[in-house]
A and B are shown apart, each in its own frame.
Chain A
């Protein structure tokens, strides 16, 4: 029989997945109207981040409630999410360069990206690989085995340093230099999305135990998930200036 806490966690999952799905829909809808590869890729970046977030919610609901997954979803989702976020950051850095009147290439991104991409892929592969070494059933135990811990920590630490470093330091700088108000708005909302996601992750240890889901965890999940979904939706809608027919002459 489904307990009220389980039912609530399903509800949280449905709400969060719906909002993230809506963000993805808008990102893909706008992408269809764009014709320049770089801007299409940027929209795709937001769409896949939304998809991964929705998938993580689904994985989380299934893992906590049905215990049906045969691998630990937490690390694999983090690995995938960081990869997708890095893809969006890469495209946004290129877009910022293109919008800059003097084509300023912040931190020589057009060259740095060539070195960073293989590094990120290796890190994420380690992280993803380590997730397969996790417990196969029961509550989420991040890793098991010395190899898993070494692999996971290496990938996790490097990925968690490199991606935020670029996203938090370089991207705002590049967007400010670009003078493109639309791009700045998009990045601000994406930043809000990231804050909600990391806020939710950071609060998790304080709201429940590692072996059982709690009501407080679900409330944090609902607020964090909805907030992240709304921020990503606003980021998608900020990809380009959208006009309203009624607002024109």
Chain B
């Protein structure tokens, strides 16, 4: 069975050639505005192209996501993900305060589409952590990942840097199978956006940093040499 492509060829190469590990949960950490959502957009996009079942769970409205998506050259106009969002146009309306419903709805969607590979992309993690005690979210995610991994499914979540205490960030990183960091580093009078694969199940730890930028066809990644 093929590993699920990230939708970004240079990132697939960085991850060993094919993409994310099967039945894995991936966390993308970074500050607001750096473009971590783009990893979710491209992951969803390639899933739609490959006829995988792609779910986009967002606290924003689907319209807002579609606006952001355009800036990264991703086109959801031909193939549309299954929206689990805060607006009435979504297939399922998200109530971020209701963890039980969130879990139930995702499991229900998985069950109904179990014959296909499923990609779940979400930007709700930071909001969940701000509205609930971290222990609650830790338990919630542990249980959810256990259920999701019974299917041929991959989850990709984004987490805001600078909004959570370091211990919460560390706990979240421990929970996920793979962690990709997109961060800004100050070097003299320059600011460098750097990518690091902090951990990835089945792949040897990669200590290196990579320069990255977003282009219309995805992402350009090159080794960072200090």
Contact = CB atoms under 8 A, between A and B. Distances in A.
B184 A242 contact: yes
Given A34-B33, A39-B33, A40-B33, A240 B162 contact: yes
Interface stretch (A7-15, A145-153, A178-186): A178-186
A98 to B, nearest CB: 8
Interface in A187-244: 240-244
B interface bracket (residues with beta carbon within 8 Å of A): 35 or more
A242 B186 contact: yes
A33 B191 contact: yes
Contacts of A241: 31, 161-162, 183-184
A181 B32 contact: no
A30 interface: yes
Contact of B163 (A37, A38, A39, A99): A99
Contacts of B192: 33
A216 B76 CA distance: 62
Contacts of A34: 33-35
Interface stretch (B7-15, B106-114, B123-131, B139-147): B123-131
B193 A99 contact: no
Interface residues of A, number: 28
Nearest to A244: B186
25 contacts: A33-B191, A34-B33, A34-B35, A35-B34, A35-B35, A35-B214, A36-B35, A36-B37, A37-B71, A39-B33, A99-B163, A101-B127, A101-B131, A179-B130, A180-B160, A180-B162, A240-B34, A240-B162, A241-B161, A242-B186, A242-B191, A243-B183, A243-B185, A245-B187, A245-B226
Given A179-B130, A243-B183, A103 B86 contact: yes
B184 A33 contact: yes
A242 B192 CA distance: 9
| Closest CB pairs A-B (n = 7) | A39-B33, A101-B127, A35-B35, A34-B33, A241-B162, A182-B162, A240-B31
B152 interface: no
A102 interface: yes
Interface of A: 25, 29-30, 32-40, 95, 98-99, 101-103, 179-182, 240-245
B60 interface: yes
Interface string B42-73: 00000000000000000110000000100110
B185 A242 contact: yes
Nearest to A179: B130
Max chain A C-beta neighbours (<10 A), residue from B33, B35, B214: B33
Contact of A181 (B96, B162, B187): B162
A33 B31 CA distance: 11
Contacts of A181: 162-163
B38 interface: yes
A102 B184 CA distance: 27
A34 B31 CA distance: 9
A42 to B, nearest CB: 8
B131 A102 contact: yes
B190 to A, nearest CB: 7
Nearest to B124: A101
Contacts of B126: 101
A243 B86 CA distance: 33
Contacts of B130: 101, 179
Given A241-B31, A241-B184, 13 more contacts: A34-B33, A35-B71, A36-B32, A36-B33, A39-B33, A95-B32, A101-B127, A102-B131, A180-B162, A181-B163, A242-B186, A243-B186, A245-B185
